Structure 1
Amino acid sequence: MPRFEFTPQLRRFTDTPVVDTPATDLRAGLEATFAINPRLRGYVLDDQGHLRANVVVFIDGRRTTDRVALNDALNPDSKVYVLQALSGG
C-alpha cells in the first residue's frame, strides 16, 4: 500500500501519523490521512482544496506538479512525503 509521511515540522502543531492506504491517487491518499487527523487538512490544503503554497509533495522521489487536482497516480508501493517549506532568516 502507498505510505504517506509528513514533515517533522508539522508535529509542532498536530499529530502527523504515517498512513498506509490503498489509495490510487494523491487526493484519495491525502483524504485517508485527513480522516485519521482532520487538523492536517488545514496545514496541507487551502480553502479551495489545493495544496498550500508552502507545501510540497514528493511521490517516489519526484515532486508533484499538479497542485490543484492532486490526481497524481500512486503505485501499490509508493512512498509519499508531504513537506512544509520553512521560511525565515
Structure 2
Amino acid sequence: MSFVICHLSFVICHLSFVICYWSFVIGHLSFVICYWSFVIGHLSFVICHLSFVICYLLLVICHLLLVICHLLLVICHLLLVICHLLFSDQEWRIQLKLPHW
C-alpha cells in the first residue's frame, strides 16, 4: 500500500513538474511576445515622430515659398506701377508735344 501511495505521489509530483514547465514555457512566450510588441511599438513611435518632423519641415518650406511668392508679387506690382507711371508720362508728353528724352 505504501508503494502505491509513493507511486501516486511521484505521479502527482511529475504532473506538477510538467504543469510548472509548461507554465514557464507559456510565460516565456508571453514575455517574448510582449518584448516584440514593445519593439514594434517603439519603432512605430519613431516612424511617427520622423513623419511629424518631415511634415513640419515641409510646412516650413511651404511657408517660405509662400513668403517668396508674396515678395515676387509685391515686386511685380511695383514694376507694374512704375511701368504705368512711365507709360502715363509718355502719353502725357505726347499730348503736350514735349520732346522725348
More helix by share: 2
Query: Normalised by the shorter chain, which TM-score bucket?
Result: under 0.3
TM score, norm. by length of structure 1: 0.15
Higher relative contact order (CA 8 A, sep 6+): 1
More strand by share: 1
TM score, norm. by length of structure 2: 0.14
